[in-house]
Every structure is written in structure tokens, then in C-alpha cells.
Structure 1
């Protein structure tokens, strides 16, 4: 008996689960084929991916084995050549060979070693005793006996060989004078006194690849020798595969392998790149065929499923549309009122009832005069109603006053449109009513603000004028404009034309605190960028700052507003300040050269002494008749070279000290740095400080005054040398480094100059006031050097800063950085 009341409940539960199971079966029947196709495509993709990965792994292993084999061949070839050259070096060291016997032996070694480019016998003074070169080496690149090598040519290998007395391989830092990439081998020579020079063997890297790499390796791979910076010195390099300039993600790293070349060291690497790479997974035709068939099957199933769902969705959308329209009608803030053709209210929405305070039952069915009409406006509203029923209502709407049920009034605007039924027949008029009380109040406030704004513009100490483009009409001009230029647009057009000629584009941040658009509607301004210029007006005998902006005038026309401010007093002050700054810069250069006078005198003494010695020697040999024309010509050339060197020093000093107007031009950064270093190196040598520099290649030219920028570089490097000298650093740590690179700083493309010293740094309290005028850490300092440096850099739109360098908590130097925008 107890189960009878529960029977309907059990039946409802059974129907519920039956419906859920049916819906699940429908969904499964649609999704199951799609899922099976997706799993099939995934399985095929995984299989192809696995096979492709296995093939790439085999290619990578083969590449590594071949590269390591080639590296062993190169190593053995270098060791064989080294052994032959060591026997030749021992022959020279044992006095078994002189310059005349060295030539045939060296040529024999070169004939047996096609990868050798030249052999040079150099004594302990870096003078070439004898030299032999391969036949294919150009004459311009061959070394000549009797030449004196400069320390820079052989410093690293020569010094290291002399210290270690062991063979040393050296890879030159750059290919100078058009020489091919070479590998230098220095072998020490000795005699009874110890070190007697070196035997320099130069290997052609191209020849080393051509003769040392097996043919079966070079046929399969592009072989190249790289330096430590991954730059190709010799050999071949395969370009990237795709149009973006990069390898595909799944082949990156599998077609290239590199190993270091021993016994060379020094970052010399042997790299191999495969000529052929296995096709990528996405290039497999089977993959695309399976993918296309799977997508076609999935698209067919989805199309059937969508067709079945469309009919169910149509009914749901119809119900949702009815619910949505009813919700929108009840929630909208605009009041809706419908009249029939006789003028009777047949419908009002909740918003209309809420705005007027009258209920729907109190409004529907009423005729004119309606309850929400004010008593004083009934006659006018009745006339408008007749126009509305006659179809003469304007589409711009009608402004009227509306009376609420409590008697209060508000402003409203009524928009009327015909009401058409489903058969296309007009059955009445639909009106939309909006409350415009607040917009009217805002409009009145804006009108008052506009009046106040006009009053302010009339009282400004700046000329303000507005004129449309392509017209001589003057839309607006304040009192000062009319006082200066009259009542027409000639003054406005003159300012625009001259300002466009002299003006420079500025951002809004560069303007004065007076906003040229104060009070104007910002949503109607044109998007064009404004101009700013300074010009002299002879008729007024004034300097004016001209600022112009384009804007949309109230009638929609594009107009140009020009604001002219009298800056005569400011220009006079700027001219006076520039004159004083120029005198201070000249004084700073004179002070710098005064401090460097003794060093300059010492530097000039060297070429003058050399000139005197050459002249004395020539006179002695001429009197004794022991000089030939060739020797006399050589001595005169050396004398002229020393005289030219002394003249260059004097010209650089005169150009640096000479007072002149700022003259900006496009300058080569490398030349600017070299000219500054010519003066600084004198002071550095006097203080026993080593100057090192790095200037990034291919730097773009900068638009600066070269004398001023040289003054900044000289002042900073001179201060750095004094700091190192004052810190009493040991000789190996007395260094000043100049680093010039291209960088992006604060969103600008700049050339950055960094001067780093190994002094004792600066105290924190000094860093805060370092660039202040008349502040100096030197007892005899005037405190204008760094202040002038900052002024010069900022006048070129750059910035300068200083920071200490620390080793743990101990300062180990200071770095000054300044940058000039490109």
C-alpha cells in the first residue's frame, strides 16, 4: 500500500533518466565519429613524427662522427707541419743556416705544404731577416727582408712565444690590408744568449680546409672555420632554409655541428652543415592526405549535426526573441508612447510612466489634452499634436515641457515615427520621449564657460587668432592680435607661413604651461600635429614664439589656431647665456691645455730631436762622402715624417684651443675619437696610464660640434687618468678604457660613450654634486669642467651620468657615460 503514493514519483524519475539517456545517446552518436577521426589523425601524426625523429637522430650522429674525423685530420696535419717547422727552427737556432740558406729550405717546406702561405724569420727586435712566400700569395702581401714590424702586428704571438719559448698559434683579430684569413704559428729561435727571435709560419685557412678535410666529408657538408664570435673565417656556409631567415623548429640544431680545432685553441672552431636535410613532418604527403580525409569526414558529420540542431535552435531563438524584446521594452530609459490615427493613447511603456508619474491605466485611452501637458503650454502642444497626426512632425524632434503627476516640470524632446502593422498599413504614431533637463543645464553651463573663456583670451598677453584653411575669413582674434596686426588675416597668414618655414615638430610635452586648447571641445580637435617656431617681426621689433594647431571649428570646417607670444626678453637672456657659456668653454679648453703643457712639450721634443739627429747624420755622411742618393732620400723622408708629426700635434692643439662659434656638422665617430685620443695619450703616457679603446664598426654619423664633443672626451679621460694616478695602482692595473657603441636608451637610438678607469672611485656625497657648477674635488680645481661637460652633452640633446664600480664592497674604479642621439 505504501508504494502507491510513490508511483508517480518513480515514474517521473524514470522518465527523467530516460530523457537524459536519450540526450546522451544523441550526443554520443554525433561525437563518436568525430572522436574516432581525431584519434586516427593523432595516431598517424605520432607515427610520422617518430619516424622523422629517428631519421634526424641518425643524420645527427653521422654528422658528429664526420666532423670529429675531419677535426682529427686537421689536427694531425697541423702537428706534422709543426714538426717540420720545428726542425727548420732548430736549424736556424744552431747557426746552421743564414739568410741565404734559409730561402731554399723555406721554399722546399712551402712546396711540400700547400696550406702554408709564407715563412718569415724575425729576429728579437722584430726585424725581418728573411722571408719566403707561396707562389700564389700576391706580392703586395709578401713580407720583405729588412722591414721592421710594428709591435701591433705581432705583439700577442711574439711576446707569448718569447715568454714561453714554446710554439704558439695565433689567430689574427682582423684581416688587415685585404689578406685572406690566416693562422699564424710562432716558433721560438734561441742562441747562446737566450731568445733570438721567432720563425713565423702563416697557414691559409682556405688551404687548410681544402687539403686537410677529406673529400667524402666536404662532399656531404659545408665546412667552415669560425672564430670565437661565430664569424666565418674560411670555408662555406649554408643560408637559412625558410623565408623568415630561420631553420624550422624541428630541424634546428640537427644539421649543424662544430668542434674546437686543436692544438690551435684561441676560439678557432670547425663547423659542418649538412647539404641535405630530411623533409619535415609537414612536408610529408601521406600526412596531408590523411589529414584532408579526416577533416572531410569531420566536416560532413558536423554539417549533419548542425542541420539537426538548427530546427531546435529556431524555436528556442523565437522564444528568446520574445523574452528579449519584452525585457528591453521594460528596462529602457526612453519613454515610448503610441497614438492611434485619432490621437488616442493606445500604449505606454514603464519608462514613460516612470518619467511622468502617471500609471498606464491613467494614460491609455485618454485624448488631448493629455494629463502630462502643462496648463500654460496646452495651446502650443495641441498645435504640435495636429502636425504630428497630419504627418508634418520634423524628424529633429520637438522640445516641450512635461508635467509630472506631482506638478513638477521637466524638459523633454519628442521624436515621432509612423506605426506600421504586419500588413504594412499605418495604424498610428509611435513617439519616443527623452528627458533633456540635464543636457540643457550642461549646455547653459558650457555657454557660460565659453563666455568666460573668451574673456580670458581677450586678456591674454599673447596673440590668438583662428582662420579656416584656404580662406581669408578671420574666425576669431583676441585684443592683442588686433592691436598688433589689425582686423584681417594678413598677420595670421604671415605667422603661419614664416612659422612653417622655421618651425620644428614638437610633442605636446614641449609646450608652455599655457594650453592653447584650454576650453575647447577636445572631441572635435583634428589629429594633426602642431608646430612651434620662433621668429623676429621687424614691424613690431619683437621676437615671437609661434605655436599653431589644427582644429575642427564649430561649423565643421578645419581651421588653424595660431598663438604668438612675445619672447623678446627671453631671447636676449638666452643670447647672453650662450655667450657666457662659450667663454666658459674656451676657458676650460685653455685650462686643460695649460695643465697638459709640459706633456705637450715633451711630446714635441721627440720629433724635433729626431729631425735634429737625422740632419746631423746626413751632414756628417755628406762631408765624408759616404752617403748614396737612396740613403739620403730615405733619411729625408723620415725627417719629413717627423716634421709632419710635430705639425699635426701643433694643429690639433690650435684647433682645440681656438675660440669659435658652435658649428655642428655630421661627424664620423671613429675620426672624432681618434682626434681626441691624440691629445689625451700625451697626458696618459706622462702618468704611465694605459689607454684602451673600442669603437663599434659601422657607427652612423652624428650631428654635433666636433670640438665640443672632443672637449668632453678629453676632460673625462684626463680626469680618469688623474684618478688612476692618484689611486697609486700598480702598473698592470693603471688603465683607462673608452668604449663607443650604438645603443637604445630611453626609447632613443643613440651613440654611447663610456670612459672607465681603475681609480678609487667617488664618495657618495661627491656623486650627488658631481655636475654642479663650481664644485670640485681637486684643491686647485675651478669646478667648471664637469659642469661644462654636462652643458655640452645636454645642448646636443644627450645625457651624462657617473657611477662607481665595485668588487664586492670595495670600489675599484669609476665609469662616466654620456650618449648623443642619432
Structure 2
């Protein structure tokens, strides 16, 4: 209010000397006294400043003097009362601090007394002056004398309770039977701290229930300089509050023991709203807190002063003075009310006029007013800026106006006639406008009736906006959309966009319409086959959007998902890529791009069939190379069978054979026949052509089968095989025949490499090691074949996996290529490295890894579902 009075015009301040500024001019100005010399006393300076002020400003300051006097008086009273009150509060705060410190010393002395008693008990235990029974007796005596002690225990270095006694009122958690073991979490690390520091240690308040919290004291025990345990005393914090706090402190303050998190462990405190205040600006309630020594910051003593009544005399005196001062101020302001209203009305009118003028001048939209005859009566600066003509040149002009292009006079004249007759369109219309320099721009005009304050129409108001740039942008967007549509229509892939959970199609290109038509069933079919359709939430059945609450930001930021599906109605394999996006109207939509991959799938299937034939041919070649060794291996059981049969025939003819001898001979004959049958069965299973069939396979069994077939060839080359298979290997999801083929090929190559190297019999050996390994944060099983040959030449290591490339003169060059393809089809890896002894190559090591958690699954039986997706095994083939 003071600021408004200071900023008010002179008419308000000189109300009692005149009502207008004209009256002030009529009164002759008093003669100015001669200027006093510079300097002088402060009173002289004040007089000179006052005389330089105009009369209106002198009257304003003279009128404000009583108001300022009343406010200063009220301020002085408030400051005096506040000062006295704060003095009283400081004295009370000092009393609270002194009493809390005294109470803390009392609790500290009580804790130190109990600590001394427990330390004396610990010394007796260290000196072995008391037994466990005597310890329990003394503990019972202490607990009965001092109620804050809840339990006393003797704990050895291994946390085993040797003796313990607890108060009858102690919680069950403090009952520790003899021989029980304390958990490592008990004591909050105080046991370990007492062991390390060899001095009494207090723990933090323990217990989930704040009102039943306990305090633990660990007194270390030593035996010949070594730590032998502790004497553990457990205090009830509530008992420590009731028996250790002076009664006069409890009667005078609200006292409580808090932990380091501010929880009330014992006692109670007043909430801040319960404390009465004497003045509105009174400080916070009187309180003080201090850590309880020797526990430390884990236990805090806090006290608050009681407020039972207000200082009625002091506060009443303050409010009476305030009410009288407010009444005086109100009476002073009442004398200015009639002049202030008039001045406010004048200022409001001037402000409204200036605001409207400033608003019209700052508008970017051109405004033009026509009377009922079509004559221009008003234009704003924006209209003049657009057309280049000044206000004086436009006001009063009639059609044709100077900003009309010459070619559009007839059209614009017809438009003006429609405007004057009230036939203008509500949405506006576009026209061409000519600037003064002759340039043309596009504009949109809106026409509305001009109504005066009495409600009569006096003309027409027209607003004009320059739309040259928006029109250019709209044309560019239209051209960009045409280019975008042309590109999508020319794609050989079907592109469709549809909202989630709706049959509406938002976009579909030419290829989609050719395959599926214009409806959305094709889009839904592709999404269902690809398995990328999210499920709406079942909890919002009443919502308008079934997918409300879904994490759309995560969906739209995610990458595209691919799937290969077979569409029966098109008889085509399609690669379907789906992606979530936010449509132009804000809805969550799903885009599907389907490309025809039928030729590629046919090529992949042809390549898979060729690879299978190559694997079968490799196994046949391997068995062909091993034919002589296999024949020799089969000759032994067949010869033994013939010998046993001939011997039995001879002895039967001579009747020199008993029933037991015949039975033994027949058993040996049967074993030899079974051996020959197993060899033939293993060879047939190995060379038999079959589809890859991943199944859970035992590693040891696969290695045993491979060794059984490869050992025949190795014995022919006089090579010793040393296998090692780790115990408890996990099962692998592989095709066992293919893995056996890899092992046989590697063992056969190792034997041939040793034979070509011409090693002496003592150096002809192969090491086969199978064991677990962790590779790239993945559990794998490693197979390694280490030989003692000449190794692989360094220049050939990079090419040994190429098709039809071999280091052997008679080799075909498809063995290692197939081995690597088989390993990689099982998501494994294969490598080769030479073994060096200094600079000399003393062998070679082929190794490969198969992951334990393989993504291969056992292939399902052929059926309708098999045509809709590709498994990892089919892709590997």
C-alpha cells in the first residue's frame, strides 16, 4: 500500500488541496528562498531537500507521516516483546542443556559401574578363580541387584556359551543355554571388535522391536596373552531409562533414548504440534540431545521441555497494541478512499486503452476495418507492414484497393461484395496480395462483423495472415509423401502397419494388396505365424485401450524381430520382420515387412541335402580305408569260433568231452560270436545314412564308440591311444553319430600323421582328452586329440578347412571341412595348433568345443506345424 501511494499521480496526494491538476496550476507557486550555502548541519540539508520537492510530493510525504509513525510504533512493540521472549527461551534452553548433560552423566556412571563389575567378573574367569556354576551364581546376583541387566553370558573364542544367566523378565531371545553357539550376526560386530582391541566394547541397540531393544557389552577374556572369549552383559534400554534417569529430570522434561536412526527406544517425546507457542514467531520447542557415553553415537539421550500454558498477559498486550494500530491505519486510509477510486478508474481506462493499442500494434496478423459502404476505416501496423502502404494512404480508400493485384480485380471485387453482404465463408479464403514494391504473396483472410458497444453493427473486421511459407511447407510435405509412397509401392516386399488389437489397416503397399488384399487378415496372419503379437493385460477389461499401461517406450525402442514362416495360401516362404512404432495419431502400432525367400529356402534345402550326402560319403570312405583292419579284427573272433567248433566235434566223435567242458566251449564260442556281431553293428550304425537327430547323449559313451572303431586302424599303424574322459560330465544335446564321426576322423588323421612322420614305436602315441571348460562365460565340453607327428605346416593351417584341400597325397580334402561343419552346426568351435619343443614341431593338437546348454532341440515329427517355422537344426544344415 505504501508503494502504491508513492507511485500514485499527484492528483491523489493533493486531494485536500484540489481535485485536479488544473487547480494546482492556478495556485501561484511560493517564492523560493535563496539557496543556502553548501554544507551545514543535517537539519539544514533536510530543509534544502524538502524545499526542492514539488508541493504535491510534499503533501504526499506529509500525509504518510502518521501512517509511518503508527507502523514504527507497532514494530517497536513487536521487537521488544520478541526480544524479551527470546531471552526467556535462551535461559530455558540453557536449563534443558544443563539437565540433559546431568542425566547423561548419571547414566554414564551407572554404565561404568556395571562395566567395572563385569570386568571384575572377567578377571576372575581369566584367573580361573570361578567355575561355570559360580559364574552363573554371581551373574544371578548382579542381575537381581541391578534391574537394567537382562542377561550375563560367558562366551568362548568360538562363540560357544560356557555359562549364562538371564533375568526372569528377559525376552526369550536372551535365553542362551549352555553349549549353544551364538550366530555371527549377534552383537553387531562387537564380539570381533572386542577380540581385536582387547577392551570392553558396546554394541549398537539390538532388536527389531524398538521398545524391547537391548544393549550388549563385550568384555574380552585373555588366557596367556591370547583371546579366549568374552563376558557378555546385555542391558535393557527401557530398564536403563527407568532406573538410571534422575526422577526430577523425568518430571520436568519429556525424555527418551534414541538410536542412531532416530527410533525411540525408551521414554516418549512430544510431537512439535503438541508444544504451545506464546507468539506466532516463537522458535521450535525446547529440546537437547547428547550421545550416551561410553556407548557412543549408537545411543542418544534426548529431552524436550513441557509447555502447559501461554503467556496470556504478554501475548494479550501484543494483540491489543496490534489491533489499535490496525484501526489507526484503517482510519488514515479511509480518508483517501474516494479519491483513490476515481484515480483507479482513470488509470484503468488509460491502461486498457494503452494495452489495446499495444496489442494491436504488436500483432503479426494484419487487421483491417471497413464501414458498411466498403471504405477502410482502420488498419494496424502489421497490415501496413505486409502491404507496404502507410495508414494514411489506406484509411478512407474504397475498392479497388492499392494492394489488389491488377489481374485479380474482378475476383477480389466479387469477394468484397460477398463480404459486405455477409456471405463470407467462416473458414476464411485465400487471396493474392500485392506489396507496394510489386511483389506478390499469398494470404488468408477471415471476415467477421464489427459490433459497437450498443450492439449495432458498424462495419466489418478483416484479419489477414501471410501463408506463403506454410503453403510452401505444405507443398513440400505433399511432394515428400508422394515420393515416400512411390518408394514403398515399388518395393518387392509386403509392408503393412496396423494398430495393436484392432482390425484397422493404417497402411499397406502394392505388394501387400497383391498378396492379401486390402483387409487386415494378412497382417494378423503374418504376426501370428511370426509369434510377435503381444498379449493385452487382463486387468483392464473396462478400458477403452486393451493395451493401456504397456511399456510402449520399451517396445518402440526395441529392434526389429525376424522370423521365417510358410504361408500355405501363397505357397511361399516369407521372411517376416516386425517392429513396434508410434503412429502419427499417437497410437501404438506394429509394422510388418514380409519378403519372399522361397528361392533362398530351396537353395538352403538343396545345400543341406548335399551336406548330408557328403557326410555319408565321408563315413563310407573312412570305412573303406579301414576295411583291411576291420577284416583282420573280425578274423580273430571268427577263427576262434571255428577252432572251438572243430575241437568240440573231434572230442564228441571220440566221446572224450564231458558236459561241463562242452558248456564252457559253447560259452566261449558265444562270446566270440557276440564280439563279431558288435563290431559289425557298430560299423553299420556308423555308415548308415540318417537324418541328423539331436538327443541327450552321454559323452563317455560317444568317446567309447569312436575309440572302438578307430582303435582298429590305430593298431594297424602301431599307435598307442591314451584316452582320458573326465568324470560326471553333463549330457550334450547333439547327434551322437556325427560327433563320433568327427572323433574317428581326427583319431584316424592323427594315426596317419604319426605313420607318415616315421616315429619309432616308443614315440607313437595319441592323447584323447575330454573335460569341462568355461569359454566366454559359457559352459562347454572340450574334445582334444594330441598326436606325436610332424604337425601342420604353418602356411597350411589357414587352409586345412577348405573343401578339397588336403595335406596328404591321397587325401580328398573333405574330412576336416565336414568335421568343422558338424561342430559349428552344434554351435561349437574347432581349432588346430602345433606342439613345439623349442623350435622343433613334436606334434599337433586338434580340439573342438560343444556347449552344454545347446540351442539344438530334438526335431518334431513332420506335421502341419513343421511348415511354419525353422528350427536351429534345420538352419545349421
TM interval, shorter chain, is 0.5 to 0.7
The aligned residue for residue 57 of structure 1 is 90
For residues 533-548 of structure 1, the aligned pairs below 5 Å read 539=567, 541-548=574-581
**What TM-score does the superposition give when structure 1 sets the normalisation length?**
0.52
Q: Which residue of 2 aligns with 1:71?
A: 104
Residue 271 (structure 1) shift = 0.2
2:520 to 489, 509, 517: 489
Provide closer, same or farther for how the CA distance between residues 295 and 541 of structure 1 changes in structure 2, counting only shifts above 3 A. farther
Deviates more, 1:108-117 or 1:355-364: 355-364
Partner residue of 1:108 out of 115, 131, 141: 141
2:289 alignment counterpart:
257
SS at structure 1 position matched to 2:584: strand
Change in Cα spacing, 1:461 to 1:279, as seen in structure 2 (3 Å) is: farther
Cα distance between partner residues in 1 of 2:232 and 2:435: 110
Give the 3 Å change call, closer, same or farther, for CA 74–567 of structure 1 in structure 2: farther
| Greater displacement, 113-122 / 405-414 | 405-414
Correspondence for 1:479 = 510
Partner of 1:394: 425
Which residue of structure 2 lines up, in the alignment, with residue 133 of structure 1? 166
Aligned equivalent of 2:69, options 19, 22, 36: 36
Q: Could you list the runs of 5+ residues in structure 1 that have no partner in the other structure?
A: 1-9, 514-531, 553-557, 573-652, 661-710, 715-787, 789-822
The change in CA–CA distance for 1:56 and 1:279 in structure 2 (over 3 A counts) is farther
Mapping 1:712-723, distance limit 5 Å: none
Q: 1:563 matched to which residue of 2?
A: 591
Task: Report 1:588-607 matches (<5 A).
Answer: none
1:276 to partner: Cα distance: 1.9
1:454 aligns with 2:485: yes
- 2:302 equivalent in structure 1: 272
Shift of 1:214: 1.9
Partner residue in 2 for 1:211: 243
1:499 touches 1:533 (CA, 8 Å); kept in 2? no
What secondary structure does 2:513 align onto? helix
Where 1:117 maps in the other structure, the secondary structure is strand
Q: What is the DSSP-based 3-state SS (H/G/I as helix, E as strand, rest coil) of the residue aligned with 2:96?
A: helix
Instruction: Indicate the residue corresponding to 1:501 in structure 2.
Output: 535
| Aligned residue in 2 for 1:698 | none
> How far apart, in 2, do the equivalents of 1:61 and 1:324 lie?
61
Q: Which runs of 5+ in 2 are unaligned?
A: 1-27, 34-48, 275-279, 537-546, 568-572, 602-726, 734-775, 780-850, 852-877
Change over 3 Å in CA distance of 1:451–1:70 after alignment to 2: same
Q: Assess if the C-alpha contact under 8 Å between 1:462 and 1:563 holds in 2.
A: no
Could you say if the C-alpha distance between residues 257 and 413 of structure 1 is closer, same or farther in structure 2, counting changes exceeding 3 Å?
closer
Alpha-carbon distance in structure 2 between the residues aligned to 1:42 and 1:223:
38
State the aligned residue count: 541
Mapped partners of 2:107, 2:432: distance in 1:
102
Task: State the 1:46 CA deviation.
Answer: 2.4
Alpha-carbon distance in 2 for matches of 1:356, 1:398: 18
What is the rounded CA distance, in whole Å, between the counterparts of 1:79 and 1:396 in structure 2?
A: 92
Q: CA deviation at 1:235?
A: 1.6
Give, in whole Å, the separation in 1 of the partners of 2:458 and 2:192: 109
Which secondary structure state, in structure 1, belongs to the residue aligned with residue 93 of structure 2? Answer: helix
For residues 303 and 466 of structure 1, do their structure 2 counterparts lie closer, same or farther at Cα, with a shift above 3 Å needed? farther
Counterpart CA distance in 2 for 1:187 and 1:559 is 71
1:501 match: secondary structure: coil
TM-score w.r.t. length of structure 2: 0.49
CA offsets, 1:437-466, max 9 Å, x none?
A: 444444333332332233344356876556
Question: How far has the Cα of 1:260 moved from its partner?
Answer: 3.1
Assess if the C-alpha contact under 8 Å between 1:106 and 1:119 holds in 2: yes
C-alpha distance in 1 between matches for 2:159 and 2:436 = 114
Q: Distance in 2 between matches of 1:560 and 1:102?
A: 76
> Structure 1 residues 486, 68: CA separation in 2 closer, same or farther (over 3 Å shift)?
same
Change (3 A) 1:438 1:213: closer
Q: How much has 1:255 moved relative to structure 2? A: 0.8
CA distance in 1, matches of 2:370, 2:208: 97
Structure 1 SS opposite 2:425: coil
Q: What whole-Å deviation, never above 9, does each CA across 1:493-548 have from its counterpart, x for those lacking one?
A: 678996442896243896489xxxxxxxxxxxxxxxxxx98788663654432323
Residues 340-379 of structure 1: pairs in structure 2 closer than 5 A: 340-343=371-374, 368-369=399-400, 373-379=404-410
Cα distance in structure 1, aligned partners of 2:393 and 2:264? 98
- 2:271 and 2:484 mapped to 1: Cα distance? 65
Separation in structure 2 between the aligned mates of residue 369 and residue 333 of structure 1, nearest angstrom: 24
Q: Which moved more, 1:361-370 or 1:128-137?
A: 361-370
2:69 is paired with a residue whose SS is helix
Q: 1:39 to 1:535 in 2, by over 3 A?
A: farther
Residue 184 (str. 1) matches residue 184 (str. 2) = no
Tell me which residue corresponds to 1:646. none
Larger Rg, first or second structure (1 or 2) = 2
Deviation per CA, 1:201-248: give whole Å up to 9, x if none.
443333222222222222333444455x356584224264259xxxx9
CA RMSD of aligned residues (A): 5.5
- After superposition, the Cα gap between the structure-2 partners of 1:76 and 1:659, relative to the gap in structure 1 and judged at 3 Å, is farther
